[in-house]
Structure 1
């Protein structure tokens, strides 16, 4: 099993819990300032996995305002990137003159060397993330400054790979030895490097073609709102946006997949998320498939296995088993 530490605010008196949490976060990341509507009895838990120079963690906490101020940066800067995958809840981050809203399935990348403020919503937030030294990312300082902090998608491409790696790792640490930790840390640093580099290249491509940027966003939103429709085709999409099918394919030429492949991937990702949802555990897989535009269960099963390397039924069982073991570990602690 990988080496890990667990922190719970319930381990200290109620009046000390928020300050205890801020202190622990400061020790495992960087000094921050925290306030909360629940300061009188703040509830939070955090697991930290030791992967050598990299650490992976899972945290659940009540409403918070977290600030990394210029004064705190001057006092102590460990020069870390902080990558968070939002699993539940929502929040907003402000840095300099920028603001981004984070919801479930979003990736949030911040920098201990840059002042920022995060405000979470009223509901508890659950986050899986990692901390990685800036020196482990082979990016120039100019690239790094442009890259973080920012919001990145985790439902496609490299973001999806990183999100799946993090969630699988945190769900089941028993399959790994402590000596695996540094090797897993290197893999994670490579994925973060690839994600940031890809995002920068995509931004450059978008800036070079403003008209493409204007067109591609509403087209993708149109697709995402109609994934349930099995008759959604490139021709339907092109007709709805008053362009030719050829023009639609040219717009997607610089994307990670063709139009049809992008639709299929979004449908599979939506179905995969439903398969991991405990509230939908009793919902038949064929119903989940139909909900996301796969009227034939056999077609869905083949596509799912080709994409994720495992049949949807086995994937659901694996996720449920991992969740059960994780819950059991928490109860033991």
Structure 2
């Protein structure tokens, strides 16, 4: 993390984009105006960049968008202590402890944190937020009040507290778990309400069936036949959840492939063999699907996962602090 002090505040970059250098400005640059000193600690949970911010004085943060930015995903901010507010896309979200918001660093935003604050910021992978949902989820405090949102808050709180005890594989997997719950939350927010009990029970059985047969031939026809329903009814069941049958199966398969590609004990297994275990047997098809969902090729993802820094934190902080825990200070 680098900090440059100026008359209008402290320009901070690299709090999420930890590989940034002075000659290559980080994608997450912001202008910070603080009434006193504060602290920021950066670390990673697999693909998820994290930064814990704390201070005893008020702080305002304004985005500084760079055309050279590598990061194109959304950020999630969880207020753990104090009071705060976020403004973006014409919306303003007031934050109390336990509230979180999503926002994009590609568009202007303003974050205010009051005195005695503690704030967790996550830099999310691009694939975490479907493009068609990006415009409606920013600065929406109601997300944290949905059932999936409360679960996500609990996960984030405990992950922050215990991250230094996690091994390298566990930290990577925890990042995947967090983004998976976030995807569930976004889908839930766009398709309010729950299915009737009998439809929910049927959907539970169908999803369980799909997970148990991912490595086999799966089609809407075979899934419907296994549950004695029509194909039309099966499609309607998934549409009620904002999904398609084939899209859900494909996503589950890709998630399993991605998980196995990050596993050190499977590194000697060729990529095509990993994919075949989960029902994807066309190598070129795999590459297109994987890149479309995760923004990187399967081989490149495996390389990044296996090269990830394995060192756990030793200083009581959450995860390894790559920048050493930087202090922020800007008067008035």
Query: Which protein, 1 or 2, shows the higher relative CO under an 8 Å CA cutoff with sep ≥ 6?
Result: 2
Q: Structure 1 or 2: larger helix share?
A: 1
